[in-house]
Amino acid sequence: MHVIIAGAGIGGLTAALCCAHRGLQVTVLEQAETISEVGAGIQIPPNAMKVFEALGIAGLIARNAFAPEAIECRMGESGMTLFNVPLGDKAQARWGSPYLHIHRADYIAALREALEAAAPNRVRIGAKLVSYTQNDAAVTAHLEDGTHISGDVLIGADGIHSSVREQMLGPDKPVFTGNVAWRAVVPVEALGDNVPNPTACAWMGRGKHAVTYGLRRGALANFVGVVERDDWKDEAWTATGTREDALTDFAGWHPSVTSILNAVQEGHLFRWALFDRLPLKTWTGGRAALLGDAAHPMLPFMAQGAAMAVEDGYVLARELAEGQGDVSAALQSYQHKRYDRATELQAASRANAKTFHKRTWLGRVSTYGPMWMAGRAAPWAVRGRLDPTYGHDVTADAR
């Protein structure tokens, strides 16, 4: 079986690896002339690491990653700790796999290296898919340069602006959330005494929040900040903002946050508008299917968007390999097994925005007060809320 995958991001490369692991032939089409990721960090939660362990590449993925000591929540201005959930061996035993942070460029490089070892020369650069056709025997991807490639399956792993999804289901209708995200990566040596804790830390504030964590074995500090504002509606990840605007947004915040903004080089502070999308009714059409952000784009408030794409890739490859040649049925089975989980996490990510951004005194006390109490009286309960997400294991799912 020949699987064509549009998109060489985290989801597309993972899907290709999972297909190759199952003995399927793969071709990955990437429209960019080079495969690279702009400087930003990403979290690899235990549920995603289980897939890489099953593929035998967990060590490669972890090679340049950072293992946080805890998951914590703090108030943005005062720095007061609401809760701190230690990670390490106990958490790994509870969830079955480690929790890591990684630079996106390192993540992509590790996946490319693994795919090249498993299925050499299967990524085509500068191959922009513009449309596809299909019949009972095959599906054909038509490229911008006039060439085409045929196979048994076409997977749209081509992100939130997926051309595969648009042909399959028509234009999407994103809704601006009223939130704008900032991101930056700086060397920790530039932060002096204000290096953030070696944790995955969410900082809560009035109408805004931030997340800080380490990258590249702790040599870099990653920052993501989300602010409620309506004067920026560019969804592109490559748009830059000014240090002055970012510092204004986080004025009065803890030095562990503002020191990162002060240290970032001009031109390396990015911002993008956050748009929400309703769940799709279907991810498949004949021999074509969607995966990752193309199927279920998520707001970043659960740090599960890429992890869901990783899980998708494993389940997709398994269903195709075990589907006895019935491609359409295998793709429908893939959607059936993935739809509820992805849709639930889409909703949870949307709900977290309200939790993170309490503006009123009453809202802050009623939300963050119980967090503070649970963090001290029942830390096991805080950890337990993460179990359904982090403890999930697609590699152990029964058919």
* Pair 213, 74: CB distance under 8 Å: no
Rounded CA gap, 40 and 36, in Å? 11
Q: Say how far residue 184 (Cα) sits from the centre of its chain.
A: 16
213 catalytic, yes or no? Answer: yes
If one counts every other C-beta atom within 10 angstroms of the C-beta of residue 212, the result is: 24
Alpha carbon of 242 to those of 4, 232, 236, 262: distances in Å? 40, 13, 16, 11
Question: Are the CB atoms for 316 and 291 separated by under 8 Å?
Answer: yes
Q: How far apart are CA 178 and CA 281, in angstroms?
A: 25
Q: Name residue 175's beta-bridge partners.
A: 276
Catalytic pick among 213, 334, 368, 390: 213
Q: What gap in Å lies between CA 320 and CA 317, rounded to an integer?
A: 5
Q: How many helices (H) and strands (E) does the chain have?
A: 12, 18
The H-assigned helical ranges of 170-304 are: 243-249, 255-263
Given the DSSP bridges, would you call strands 175-187 and 270-276 parallel, antiparallel or unpaired?
antiparallel
First to last CA, the chain: 20
Q: Residue 313 in contact with residue 291, Cβ under 8 Å? A: yes
Instruction: State the number of CA atoms in the 13 A half-sphere of 44 facing the CB.
Output: 29
Residue 31 near residue 183 (C-beta atoms within 8 A)? no
Give the Cα separation of 61 and 64 in Å (integer).
7
Where b means 16+ CB within 10 Å and e means fewer, 72-104 reads: bbbbbbeeebbbbbebeeebeebbbbbbbbbbb
As a whole number of angstroms, the distance between CA 17 and CA 24 comes to 10
> Known catalytic residues?
213
